[in-house]
C-alpha cells in the first residue's frame, strides 16, 4: 500500500470510519465502496438486531472495504464473529487497515479467497450476506450450502434492468423466468429473484422463506430465513407461479398454473414468471425492525409494515388508474386508500412506487372514483 495513499479517502458511515477508493464507482475499484448502498447496510444492521439469535457467525464473501462488517461489529447488539473475505489482495489489505482504523482487534477473521471457495471452505454461517456488483446468481449455490439450518441469508441484486424487463433474455438466462415491463415491474423483479434463490436452496433440501424484501435505489434486496426440511422446501415451491395485469381494465391475475392468455375484458395478458407468489414479509419481523429504526429508515419501514399487513400481489399506480379509467382528476393517494378500506378492501401505500397503492384482490375502482 506504500505510495498509494493518494488513491484513497476516508469516509464516515454509521459508526464506521473507512478508507475507500477515489474516482468513479465501477466494478474495477480496488476498494469498492458505493455510498448509495449505505441504506442497504443500515437495513442489514436493523435486520440483525431483530433476529432472535444472541450469537451470530457472519460471513461476508465480498467484503470490499469491510464497511458492512465493521458496522456489524460496532452496531449489532449481540455477540458477533465476522468473517471478512475478498478475492482482491488490495481489498483485504484495506479491510485490515480499516479494522485498525476503527480500533477493532478481535471478533473477526480476514481472508483473500474467491467468494465461492471462501463459503464452501467454511463450517457455515448463521448470517451470510451476498452483495455483488450485478447478479448474485453465480454465488447462490455456495451460499445456500453454507447458511446454517436455522440461519439467515441476505441477497442483493443490482442488475435491475433484466429483472424489470428491459433485457428479458438476460433475465431468462440468469433467473430462469420471464419479466414484464409494466407499472409493477419492480415487484415482479423482486419475486423472480426470490424464486431463483428458493430453487437453488431446494436442491439441498433447504427452505428459504423471505422475511424482509424491498426495492430501492435501483437494487433488490431480500433477507431469507433458512430451514432444513424437504417438506418445507416443497411447500415453498408450491407458491411459485405467474403474475399479469390487464392494461385495459386493471384486473390482476396470479396463478400457480398458466392462467388464461386473455383477460375477461378480451385484452391480451403478458405474464411475468415463474415467480414467488407468497409473502414478501413476515409482519412480526418487520415490526421488530421498526422498533430499532432511526430517522433515516423509519418512514421506509413504516410503509413496508403497512404493506405487509395487506399482503397484495401486484399493485396499482395512480397514473395507470387515471389513464385506464379516463379520469382527469384523482383523489390523493391517502384518500383513495381510505375509500378502499371503507369499502371493505385491504389497501396501503407501497414502497415500490411513490404513487403506488397495494390492494388485495381485484377492486371495482370505477364506482369508487366516479
Please name each of the domains of the chain with its CATH number: 5-262+270-276 (3.40.50.150), 283-369 (3.30.56.70)
Residue 2 pairs with which residues in a beta bridge?
A: none
3: confidence class by pLDDT, cuts 50, 70, 90: very low
- pLDDT of 25 > 90? The answer is no
- pLDDT of 349 > 70? The answer is yes
* CA separation, residue 255 to residues 131, 197, 227, 278 (Å): 31, 20, 25, 11
The pLDDT score that the predictor gives to residue 115 is: 98
pTM of the model: 0.95
The pLDDT score that the predictor gives to residue 30 is: 67
How confident is the model over 194-233, as pLDDT tens digits? 999 999 999 999 999 999 999 999 999 999 999 999 999 9
For residue 39, give the C-alpha cell. 441504506
Geometric angle at alpha carbon 81, from 80 and 85, rounded to 5° = 135
How confident is the model over 130-183, as pLDDT tens digits? 999 999 999 999 999 999 999 999 999 999 999 999 999 999 999 999 999 999
Q: What is the mean pLDDT of the chain?
A: 94
Amino acid at each position: 500500500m506504500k505510495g498509494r495513499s493518494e488513491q484513497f479517502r476516508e469516509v464516515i458511515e454509521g459508526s464506521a470510519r473507512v478508507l475507500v477508493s477515489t474516482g468513479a464507482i465501477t466494478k474495477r475499484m480496488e476498494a469498492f465502496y458505493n455510498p448509495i448502498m449505505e441504506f442497504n447496510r443500515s437495513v442489514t444492521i436493523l435486520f440483525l438486531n431483530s433476529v432472535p439469535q444472541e450469537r451470530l457467525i457472519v460471513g461476508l464473501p465480498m467484503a470490499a472495504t469491510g464497511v458492512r462488517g465493521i458496522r456489524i461489529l460496532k452496531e449489532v447488539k449481540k455477540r458477533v464473529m465476522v468473517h471478512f473475505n475478498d478475492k482482491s489482495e488490495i481489498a483485504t489489505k484495506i479491510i485490515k487497515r480499516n479494522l485498525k482504523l476503527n480500533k477493532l482487534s478481535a471478533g473477526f477473521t480476514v481472508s483473500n479467497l474467491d467468494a465461492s471457495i471462501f463459503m464452501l471452505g467454511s463450517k457455515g454461517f448463521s448470517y451470510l450476506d451476498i452483495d455483488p456488483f450485478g447478479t448474485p446468481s453465480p454465488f447462490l449455490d455456495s451460499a445456500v450450502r453454507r447458511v446454517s439450518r436455522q440461519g439467515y441469508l441476505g441477497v442483493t441484486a443490482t442488475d435491475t434492468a433484466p429483472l424489470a424487463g428491459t433485457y428479458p433474455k438476460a433475465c431468462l438466462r440468469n433467473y430462469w423466468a420471464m419479466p414484464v415491463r409494466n407499472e409493477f415491474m419492480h415487484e415482479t423483479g423482486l419475486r423472480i429473484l426470490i424464486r431463483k434463490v428458493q430453487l437453488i436452496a431446494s436442491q439441498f433440501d433447504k427452505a428459504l422463506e423471505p422475511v424482509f424484501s424491498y426495492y430501492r435505489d435501483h437494487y433488490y434486496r431480500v433477507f431469507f430465513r433458512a430451514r432444513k426440511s424437504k417438506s418445507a422446501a416443497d411447500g415453498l415451491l408450491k407458491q411459485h407461479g405467474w403474475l399479469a395485469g390487464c392494461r385495459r381494465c386493471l384486473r390482476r391475475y396470479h396463478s400457480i398454473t398458466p392462467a388464461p392468455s386473455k383477460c375477461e375484458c378480451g385484452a391480451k395478458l403478458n405474464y411475468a414468471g415463474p415467480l414467488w407468489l407468497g409473502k414478501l414479509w413476515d409482519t412480526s419481523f418487520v415490526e421488530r425492525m421498526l422498533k430499532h429504526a432511526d430517522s433515516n429508515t423509519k418512514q421506509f419501514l413504516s410503509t413496508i409494515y403497512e404493506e405487509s399487513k395487506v399482503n397484495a400481489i401486484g399493485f396499482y399506480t395512480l397514473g395507470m388508474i387515471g389513464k385506464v379509467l379516463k379520469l382527469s382528476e384523482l383523489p390523493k393517494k391517502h384518500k383513495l386508500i381510505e375509500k378502499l378500506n371503507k369499502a371493505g378492501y385491504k389497501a396501503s401505500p407501497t414502497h415500490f412506487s411513490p404513487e403506488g397503492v397495494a390492494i388485495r384482490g381485484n377492486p371495482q375502482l370505477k364506482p369508487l372514483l366516479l
